[in-house]
Amino acid sequence: MSMELDVFVGNTTVLDEDVYQLWLDGQTVTDAVRIRIEAGALQECEANAEVLLSDTMDQFRTFQMCERLLQSPSKVANQLLFQIPPHRQTMLIERYYEFDSMFAREVLGKKLSKGTKKDLDDIGSKTGIVLKSCRRQFDNFKRVFKVVEELKGPLVENIQRHFLLSDVLARDYAAIVFFANSRFETGKRKLQYLSFQDFAFCAGQLISYWTVGAVDNVVENMDVDLEKEFLHDLKDLKVLVNDKDMLDQHKSLVCAQLRGKIKVFSEMEASFKNLSRALVNIASKLTHTKDVRDLFIDLVEKFIEPCRSDKWTIGDLRLFLTHYSSSVHTLEAFRRQVIWDRYMGVIKSCILKMYHD
Amino acid sequence: MPGKLKAKIVAGRHLPVMDRASDLTDAFVEVKFGNTTFKTDVYPKSLNPQWNSEWFKFEVDDEDLQDEPLQITVLDHDTYSANDAIGKVYIDIDPLLCSEAATVISGWLPIYDTIHGIRGEINVLVKVDLFNDLNRFRQSSCGVKFFCTTSIPRCYRAVMVHGFVEELVVNEDPEYQWIDRIRTPRASNEARQRLIFLMSGELQRKIGLKVLEMGGNAVVGYLQCFDLEGETGLVVRAIGTACTLEKISTLPATATHPSNSSPSKDMKDSPQAAPSTLGCRSTHSSPVHSASSRLSQGFSVSVPTLLFAGMKPRHRSSEAPRARQCRPGFGEEAPGVPLSSGPPTPLRAQTFSSFSPSKSYSRQSSSSDTELSLTPKTGMGSGGSAGKEAGPLKALLRQQTQSALEQREYPFFTLTAFPPGFLLHVGGVVSARSVKLLDRIHNPDEPETRDAWWEEIRQEIKSHAKALGCHAVVGYSESTSICEEVCILSASGTAAILSSRFMQDGSLDTEHRLSRQPLCVFSTGSERVEGDMGSSASLGFEEVVPPGCGFCHIPYDELNIPFPAQLTYCYCCRRYKVPDVLFTTIDLPTEANVTGKGCLIQARLCRTKKKAQGEGNATAISNLLPFLEYELHTQLMNKLKLRGMNALFGLRIQISVGETMLLGLASATGVYLTALPSPGGIQVAGKTPSDITYEQHISNMQKKINDTISKNKELHEINPPEVVEEIIGSPIPEPRQRSRLFRSHSESSDEVSELDLSHGKKDAFVLEIDDTDAVEDIHALLTDSPTPAGFYSCNTEIMPGIQNWTSAIQMFTSVRVFRLNANLTNQGLNKIFSDLCENLLKSLYFKLRSMVPCCLCHLNFTVAIPEDELIQVAVTAVAMSFDKEQSLENGKQSGEKTLIKAITENDEQLQFNLELNAETSSPNPLSSPKGLSEVGSHPSARAPSVDYSSFADRCSSWIEQLKLKAHTIRRGSVKTTSSLEKASPLPEGRSRSLRSNRSYSGSSVAVVKMTPLSFIPGAKIIKYLGIINMFFIRETTSLREEGGVSGFLHTFIAEVFAMVRAHVAALGGNAVVSYSMKECVFMENPNKNQAQCLINVSGDAVIFIQESELESTSVQTQSATTHTSNGGEGT
């Protein structure tokens, strides 16, 4: 004796957001029922386990049917099969594309290929995210990447237009796409302390200031790649460390500004040249793709770690970076102010974001 | 050439990939109507082709326009091999043929394939240019409007209601033709879909012709059904009510007299001139048919308030399912009137029991029809005789209204709701069933046997209505259940007396006027005459009989009650007699006075049957049927009592036949009609009182029952106006004692007395337990769990006591199929079936919990036995949320709140309860043992009860159970209120947010609301666009891949909804009202990974607009009046 068939179809598709989350999390029906019972679903409406099971199965089936549409969200609004109020459509799409930052952190910068998909097992067991959910998230990354990869125009807007995501989520996806495209190194042990949000912030900075689209707003421009010309120009910054006078002048300017203002003044004074050299060297190397990939590991190894070992506070660091970058303006011999600002603006905010334990 | 059909193919979107190599499709479209086909160009390599075709023009007869659908096929062009079909769209042209309906079909329609489901959408434009048809001998009926709605459609006025129209057409089922062996499943499905489309078109046209003949211009309550008989063919049949409707214009209606109104006059010529060569088959000449060359069996059961009939060769048995003690009528306040309700029960029982095999309170159900009936007729069969006994006035009245009706072959009305003043009195449910063996239909053009079968049934119904002293049957419907070659035909309705106001024809008009005069003369006479007269004289009706109770007054003669019923004076007007219980198939009249709220009541029954073939099988089934009906009825009655209610509306009894079992499901909405006496409780009586444990068991059971009753009363806010009764104070103790006839006299008298006390002066309905079956039954009775807090349910259009609906509605369909083990007992089956329904309901409540507070309306269950050991239950209903604030005012839920209204209401309750029990205010939970002890301590009168022993064992066992219960009733009503409500706080915030979210806007797909009701809350229907009647078949050979049977059906139902919505939107509508899923036939073969499903849906496409402030206030005042009238009863 068994229920052979059990369906419920509403004219307006009935969607339970809590169950949707369980489905997105890749739970099996049995687990989902257990979780719902633990969450007190039985108290609602005099339900029993049987009712809950039936409801969960039904909801899962509905979501599965919707999934095909959710993979091309623009279809959700003009499909006829499910009558879903617009705000629910938005919810469905947004939630479908939401991801665990733990998971995203693992995948960040990796090639979104089949090879990586095999690693999902490992990621799943590492992060405790159900494999099914990993797959969905990975497929979402890949799908978004494939669609916007070749598109002209601002990356975030492209993602928003094609996937109807909220601004926040679209920005996160932009970061993922950006990282996947440039294949930034994020997996090194020294970078493990950085969260997805740290990287997403940095990605946002890079997209906003270092890409082609960042300087001129012509729609044809690509947002995914860093501006070659700019990277090339960064070589000119070398003068700041190669020219002994300029380096000394720069140091004295910064020290004059910071004296008494930061606790680690002496340490700063001692390591100024090293730090400055590190930042400028990173800049000048960015013409090589390999070095672009290593941007974050370089920042950590050559700048953040020394600072950290000298026990700089974040406030000290902010003051230092501010004056370090602004005092360059008073160096009369230095001509690449614009490039410098464009470089340092991003580097400063990235470092500040990345400077934590 | 009276019509030109024009179609334009604009574009396609979301097409499937047909060419794997390019991932694209080279699509083109074939447009076909009749035998003409046009093609668009191929639009290469696109999933979103833009054809933008020219206008394809078809010049056709309007007859074809009515019969044929426009068929649009989307194909993928293939240079080398045959073109692949992507899918089809069938478009019903009918809505375009009526000037008042839609003018153009334009929009995105899903492209449907019977194997793959929806595959993209196509944008089309369809128009029809109709030329005036001057041909009187036409065979088309263009312009006749069809409505599924079973009431007068909202934006129309009924000028005249002409009456019953019916038609059936038969054909061979393509699925069973030899060619089916060599064609693909797709071709076979499409042939079937197309055939059914054609047949429904033809049927509709023929019905339309009949309507024109009658002088009408519309069919209301159009009900079309399919009988998939299998080998023997495919029957499409329809019934409806012909009307002359007039669109309500903004100007006040000028046509005051119906016969003067133009529509009827216009129509009058054509029908008379047109010889009914096609439209009307006059096969109704004689009720005796030789058609039953094969076995034809039936039966007839007549029970109080429910009169069944069928044809049984030998013994026309009729049984009353239950007995009750006779209650003294409340006639004492009018001493001048002699107590005319007849002798008390024992005597009366004898009068009625003479012919019945069971020797109990039952009576001969007289029917004038069947040739096989051998039993002598009782004297009280016809309405005529009843009329005579009631006096000349009544007879005159009867004759007059009858004359209008008797012109009609069948005075049947498929309507369930009526214009005010139309429905005068309601007699009770009449139903007839018969079991037939299907035989091959030799000549599809003359489906005589099927016609004859229905005719027999209708005659039966007609005669039963007469027996109830009624000249009409309202809320009439017909259905079938087929298993292999056995077919059960069923028809049911509500016997009623209607006002002739809407029925008079021009010819009758003078007669009517004449007859009115004598009536007026006598109108100062007895009250009875006045009432009847007033209703017929169309003017003064409302003044004479309060509209809130008029329909409850008995139509039959009280000296010749067709079944044992206790008559009392109406509790509203105190002038006319009313029965103690009223069963009907119609909706609750809006003007009815109701106490509290209603609820869904279901009786469910399973009976095993031996496997048999042919005649043996038919005999076995017809032998089982009476018992099934009887038990269903008993269950209904008990459940009604258990809820403390006294009337059923929307009663629908469905009997489904399978190879090894019969399923019976009766659904109805129980209410407490203020006009009817308060129902007694249920008493359970044991037969072996010596056994202490047994007694304890019984008393436990009684307690449970009593608890349930009181809980239910609270739940449904039933606080009958006891005070009124107190004042009048009529009951005489003597007859009550007399009526108590226990078979086993061993019951201690104090037990009985306790019982009675608990009810005040109400009589208890007694059940005796004498076998384990009965215990099971009681358990079954008690297992119906109450609806969760915040939910109400009914199977009718409206729920009494709830008025302020929000615009949030959710229509849904739920289907379940349950697989049984072999070798189950009846009881086991019953339990499974009952649990199946209960769990389904529970699931629905849970699913819709976000809409709380809400009411599930029009809960329509259909059961089927698709295969041996499978039970299928399908439900379509609508959940409508309402504003809690007012419901609080209405009810006593506000116990802990300090609303003034609530306080006064509580006071009332207290008052009532204090009379019975001084401790009412103690907040004891129901489970408290206190209640029992209290009961014992009270002085008491005896609970009158009646011996049930004359019934089958089963029945007497019932009595005991219920007897047990009678005493707890007194406790509950108030005490538990607060605790109950506290225990179930409603997730208020949540429902709020949901509702506010419900205002969809800015969607690129137009929102189409669907509802099985005839209205949309908070909105006004401004235009009916035509009937939607769609039939789809879906088949799969990859069941597992589509998510198993559930996935398959889920998708299919969603697709059907989508197609209905799309077609409505294309007609320019934004809602479907009176939506129903009439057929859902599901077959599976998991071993072959295959499944097939057929779905037939129908409804009325409409345009609605949200009510403006002004309009909404008017509605509220209207509802408020009903409410206050209820409230008035309470004080």
- Per residue in B854-879, pLDDT (tens digit) is 899 999 899 999 888 889 999 999 99
Which of A231-245, B437-451, B523-537 bottoms out in mean pLDDT, i.e. has the lowest? Answer: B523-537
Amino acid A19: pLDDT: 93
Helical residues (DSSP H) of B928-998, grouped into ranges = 930-937, 953-965, 975-983, 988-997
- What's B437's DSSP letter? E
Q: Which of residues 1065-1104 of B touch A (CB under 8 A)?
A: 1082, 1084
Write the pLDDT tens digit of every residue in B225-266: 888 888 788 889 999 999 888 887 654 433 333 333 333 333
Contact B474, B423 (CB under 8 A): yes
Mean pLDDT, residues A140-154 taken together: 86
pLDDT band at B1094 (very low <50, low <70, confident <90, very high): very high
Q: How far apart are CA A341 and CA A354, in angstroms?
A: 19
Between A1, A45, A85, which is nearest B845 by CB?
A: A45
Is B511 within 8 Å of B396 (Cβ atoms)?
A: no
Q: Using CA atoms, how far apart are residues B838 and B776, in angstroms rounded to an integer?
A: 16
Alpha-carbon Rg for chain A, nearest whole angstrom, is 25
B839 has a pLDDT exceeding 80 = yes
Q: What pLDDT does B1004 receive?
A: 66
The minimal CB distance from A4 to the residues B818, B843, B1010 is found for: B818
Nearest chain B alpha carbon to A50: B839
Mean pLDDT in chain B?
69
State which of A119-133, B656-670, B1113-1127 shows the largest mean pLDDT.
B656-670
Residue pairs between chains A and B whose CB atoms are closer than 8 Å: 151
* CB-closest option in A55, A65, A83 to B843: A55
Angstrom CA distances, B282 to A56, B268, B275, B982, B1124, stand at 56, 20, 11, 64, 51
> How far apart are the C-alpha atoms of A112 and A176, rounded to whole Å?
10
pLDDT tens for each residue of B379-392: 333 333 333 333 44
Give the closest-approach CA distance of B166 to chain A in angstroms: 31
Residues of chain B contacting A90 with CB distance shorter than 8 Å: none
Dist CA B414 CA B238 (whole Å): 11
For residue B883, the distance in angstroms to the closest alpha carbon of chain A comes to 19
Chain A: which residues have CB within 8 Å of chain B?
1-14, 16, 44-48, 50-52, 54-55, 57-58, 61-62, 64-65, 75, 77-83, 85-89
Of B816, B849, B1005, the CB nearest to A80: B1005
Q: Once rounded to an integer, what is the mean pLDDT over residues A97-106?
A: 88
Does B994 touch chain A if contact means CB atoms closer than 8 Å?
Answer: no
CA distance A83 to chain B (A): 7
**Per-residue tokens: B114:** 């019977």
Q: Is A14–B816 a contact, with Cβ atoms under 8 angstroms apart?
A: no
Please report, for chain A, the start and end positions of each structural domain, with discontinuous segments joined by +: 17-97, 101-210, 228-354
Is the distance from CB of A52 to CB of A36 less than 8 angstroms? yes
CA distance A273 to chain B (A): 60
- Whether residue A267 is predicted with pLDDT greater than 50 in this model: the reply is yes
Q: What is the pLDDT of residues B971-1024, one digit of tens each?
A: 333 333 333 333 333 333 333 333 333 333 334 678 899 999 998 888 888 889
The answer to whether B843 faces chain A, any CB pair under 8 Å, is yes
Which one, of B1072, B1100, B1075, lies nearest residue B1007 by Cα?
A: B1072
Q: Mean pLDDT, to the nearest integer, of B139-151?
A: 82
- B986 touching chain A per CB within 8 A: no
Q: Provide long-range contacts, Cβ within 8 A and 24+ apart, for B196-200.
A: B196/B226, B196/B234, B196/B236, B196/B1031, B196/B1096, B197/B68, B197/B69, B197/B90, B197/B92, B197/B1031, B198/B67, B198/B68, B198/B69, B199/B169, B199/B171, B199/B234, B199/B236, B200/B224, B200/B236, B200/B1029, B200/B1031
- Tell me if chain A has a CB within 8 Å of the CB of B818: yes
For residues A99 and A140, the answer to whether their CB atoms sit within 8 Å is yes
Which residue is listed with tokens 């489309």? B197
Give me the pLDDT at residue A244, please: 84
As a 3-state breakdown, chain A gives helix, strand, coil percent values, each rounded to 5, of: 70, 5, 25
Query: pLDDT, tens digit, for every residue of A8-24?
Result: 999 999 999 999 999 99
Inter-chain CB proximity A46 and B817 less than 8 Å: no
Here the ipTM equals 0.88
Contact A9 B846 (CB under 8 A): no
Mean pLDDT confidence for B723-738: 38
B812, A8: Cβ pair inside 8 Å?
yes
Instruction: Provide long-range contacts, Cβ within 8 A and 24+ apart, for A214-223.
Output: A219/A152, A219/A153, A219/A154, A220/A152, A220/A153, A221/A152, A221/A153, A222/A152, A223/A153, A223/A154, A223/A155, A223/A156, A223/A158, A223/A174
Chain A, nearest residue to B870 by Cα: A4
Contacts of A72 (CB under 8 A, 6+ apart): none
A108's tokens: 């960040």
Yes or no, beta carbons of B1061 and A83 under 8 Å apart: yes
**To which residue do tokens 């009392």 refer?**
B568
Taking an 8 Å cut-off on Cβ atoms, the answer to whether A5 and B118 are in contact is no
Residues of A in contact with B814 (CB under 8 A): 7-9
Q: What is the pLDDT of residue A233?
A: 84
> What global pTM score does this model have?
0.77
Share of chain A above pLDDT 90, in %: 21
pLDDT value at B1099 more than 90: yes
Distance (Å, whole) CA B819 – CA B848: 26
Most confident of A119-133, B442-456, B647-661, B882-896: B647-661
Nearest Cα residue in chain B from A6: B816
How far does B667 lie from chain A, in Å, by closest CA? 20
Best residue of A3, A5, A90 to probe chain B, by most B CBs closer than 10 Å: A5
What chain B residue is nearest to A17 in terms of C-alpha separation?
B850
CA B563 to chain centre: 23
Q: Which residues of A touch B997 (CB under 8 A)?
A: 85, 87-88
Contact A8 B788 (CB under 8 A): no
Contact A241, A353 (CB under 8 A): no
Cite the beta strand spans of A43-196 per DSSP E.
none
How far apart CA B1008 and CA B1102 sit, in angstroms, is 10
H-state helical runs in A98-154: 101-107, 114-127, 131-149
H or E element, residue B425: strand B423-437
Q: Which of B271, B239, B223, B244 is nearest to B165 (CA)?
A: B239
Question: Is B1055 in CB contact (< 8 Å) with chain A?
Answer: yes
Q: Is the CB of residue B121 less than 8 Å away from at least one CB of chain A?
A: yes
What span, in angstroms and rounded, lies between the C-alpha atoms of A221 and A207? Answer: 12
Helices (H) and strands (E) in chain B, counts: 25, 34
Task: For residue A55, give how far its alpha carbon lies from the nearest alpha carbon of chain B (Å).
Answer: 7
| Residue B428, pLDDT score | 87
Q: How far is CA B561 from CA A254, A303, B499, B676, B815, in A?
A: 111, 103, 22, 17, 42
Cβ-based contacts of B985 with chain A (< 8 Å): none
pLDDT, one tens digit per residue, over B283-296 is 222 333 333 333 33
User: Nearest to residue B873, comparing CAs of B846, B833, B913, B928?
Assistant: B833
Q: Chain A residues with CB inside 8 Å of B121's CB?
A: 80
Record: contact B1043-A78, CB cut-off 8 A: no
Do B29 and B88 touch, CB atoms closer than 8 A? Answer: no
